[in-house]
Structure 1
Amino acid sequence: MSQEPSPFQLLPGAAASPVLLHVPHSSRVIPPRVRDGIVLDDAALEAELDHITDSHTAELASLAARFSATTPWRLVNGLSRLVVDPERFPDEREEMLASGMGAVYTSTTHQERLRPPGADPEPLLDRYFHPYARAMTAAVDERLAAAGRAVVIDVHSYPSAALPYELHGSGPRPPVCLGTDDFHTPPELRALAEAAFGGFGGTGLDSPFSGTYVPLKHYGADPRVGALMIEIRRDQYMSEPGGPAGPGLGALASALATLVDALTGG
């Protein structure tokens, strides 16, 4: 019997680096036991994966780690967000649940049914979501212990045209969107990101996606934990919706490495 793919990997960086690159949505892998609970046929599922996957972001983070003077740490999800979305919470706010995009999705990007009515999310949460959350919490704790601070940089992408599931898709869609948090994104962190990615036609704040990911243990409680979400518009580096990467990937990785080095230095 084939072994189920590893749910995630913590890839080590320099011992004293405070930076943790988090890549939660780059994979298309769905274990067979989870595929059995999805109502889409194979063609429809592949199309949905094209739209929902932040394609090539794991490669982007890998290149950035290679380009950085001090290697950051990376936590990379090995499974599709159609298994569970590790950046949601089990008690996700009502608007996300209403759109079918809680911790376990029930709807697609085009608001079609993904799972049967009344499907129990608890087995998926127990098997995949909670272990991931514990691993992320431990990774942040390890950076705090080693470096005295931690900076979580989420690496995401988003389509150039809004999809039906987006709750705030009518706002600006800049080449690079920076998602922030009032507590965990100090002005200095935002300024460093704006400088690093300023050569891509401009950055924007919290549109079309907002917020950051911080483990619940630290959220709103530990000012030593900084966080920023980087959402790269996909036409900057790949063929949409789910095509190959283009030459923009390397330039974006260099920009991310510039941010990593600035954060590591101060």
Structure 2
Amino acid sequence: MSLQNFEIVTGDPNSKVILHVPHSATFIPEEIRKDILLSDQELKAELDEMTDTLTEAIALKAAEISGKKPWLFINNFSRLVIDPERFPDEREAMNAVGMGAVYQKTSIGSQLRNPDPTVEKQLLADYFYPYARALSDLVEKRFTVLGEVTLIDVHSFRVNQHPNAINHGQVRPSICIGTDPFHTPKWLTEAAQSAFSIIGENYLNQPYSGTYVPLTFYQKEAKITSLMMETRADTFLTDELKIHAGFETVCKALAHLVDLIQLR
């Protein structure tokens, strides 16, 4: 029987904000680890490169200090198991570099796992689709109660771009704000720019673009809004991936955005 790969942290009954943390974990179940071709040392290096280190801690701290506690939806498994924010089919642009919903390649372009459609299908069935359904159900329940929901997609990115990518040559500011033409209204973008100004310079959709919306509601319900927070790792982590003083600033910025959304 498969382990549940996500956790829901209950927020205030009247909070319309959900913090989604998809890439913070490093856990890989042993039965999945055996199909990964990397040595333990290579796997650790890949996890260090690909994990949005301590973004779960940022979301939890921000929830704690915000005026009205948001709900949290957290991926408890590494994105090397499945990436819940990829399309599970040919629509996914990252398929071009072997990093679709089930990664075949590493951040440097080497083989992560041998291509096996049966294994990939099983990973999607066990982990991708249950995750997507659970997050969609949470959004639907909160929407039914309040009539509006805002998802904040909590990410980080490394100072240097990894080689196996499709967005080379873009700026890498302190904060990247990812938006969607349908689900990110102007007021939400402006609220994020205001809240995140204490971290540093921000760009829209560079080096990462878009934001997660459950496919059930994608381009269908405008009152389900979404925005992606991509924080450059050195604004809150040392080179050894340990927290420094900037961590508190990032948490305060996210909490401020939560409060601005809630007060609207």
TM-score, with length taken from structure 1: 0.96
Task: Determine if contact 1:21/1:152 at 8 Å carries over to the other structure.
Answer: yes
Distance, in Å, in 1 between the alignment partners of 2:231 and 2:158 is: 9
What is residue 61 of structure 1 aligned with on the other side? Answer: 59
Q: Provide structure 2 residue ranges, at least 5 long, that are not aligned to the other structure.
A: none
SS at match of 1:48: helix
Judged with a 3 Å threshold, the aligned counterparts in structure 2 of structure 1 residues 86 and 184 are, in CA distance, closer, same or farther, namely: same
Task: Determine if contact 1:24/1:76 at 8 Å carries over to the other structure.
Answer: yes
Distance, in Å, in 2 between the alignment partners of 1:149 and 1:34 is: 38
The answer to whether structure 1 residue 181 and structure 2 residue 180 are counterparts is yes
The answer to whether structure 1 residue 107 and structure 2 residue 105 are counterparts is yes
Distance, in Å, in 1 between the alignment partners of 2:216 and 2:90 is: 16
Task: Determine if contact 1:180/1:228 at 8 Å carries over to the other structure.
Answer: yes
Task: Determine if contact 2:20/2:74 at 8 Å carries over to the other structure.
Answer: yes
What is residue 144 of structure 2 aligned with on the other side? Answer: 145
Q: Which letter does structure 2 place at the counterpart of 1:145?
A: T
- RMSD, matched Cα: 1.3
What is residue 214 of structure 1 aligned with on the other side? Answer: 213
**Shift in Å at residue 259 of structure 1?**
0.3
Q: Provide structure 1 residue ranges, at least 5 long, that are not aligned to the other structure.
A: none
SS at match of 1:256: helix
Distance, in Å, in 1 between the alignment partners of 2:25 and 2:3 is: 11
**Shift in Å at residue 118 of structure 1?**
3.4
Q: Which letter does structure 1 place at the counterpart of 2:175?
A: V
Task: Determine if contact 1:5/1:78 at 8 Å carries over to the other structure.
Answer: no
Distance, in Å, in 1 between the alignment partners of 2:215 and 2:58 is: 27
What is residue 41 of structure 1 aligned with on the other side? Answer: 39
Task: Determine if contact 1:92/1:103 at 8 Å carries over to the other structure.
Answer: no
**Shift in Å at residue 4 of structure 1?**
6.6
What is residue 162 of structure 1 aligned with on the other side? Answer: 161
- Deviation per CA, 1:7-40: give whole Å up to 9, x if none: 1111010101110000000000000011011000
**Shift in Å at residue 199 of structure 1?**
1.8
Identical residues among aligned pairs (%):
43
Q: Which letter does structure 2 place at the counterpart of 1:50?
A: D
Q: Which letter does structure 2 place at the counterpart of 1:72?
A: P
What is residue 32 of structure 1 aligned with on the other side? Answer: 30
What is residue 222 of structure 2 aligned with on the other side? Answer: 223
Q: Which letter does structure 1 place at the counterpart of 2:72?
A: R
Task: Determine if contact 2:28/2:77 at 8 Å carries over to the other structure.
Answer: yes
Distance, in Å, in 2 between the alignment partners of 1:209 and 1:173 is: 9
Task: Say which of 59, 64, 68 aligns to 1:70.
Answer: 68
- Deviation per CA, 1:96-153: give whole Å up to 9, x if none: 1110110000000111100013353100000000000000100110110121101000
Task: Determine if contact 1:85/1:129 at 8 Å carries over to the other structure.
Answer: yes
What is residue 19 of structure 1 aligned with on the other side? Answer: 17
SS at match of 1:59: helix
The alignment of Structure 1 onto Structure 2 pairs a total of residues equal to 263
**Shift in Å at residue 169 of structure 1?**
2.6
SS at match of 1:200: coil
What is residue 81 of structure 2 aligned with on the other side? Answer: 83
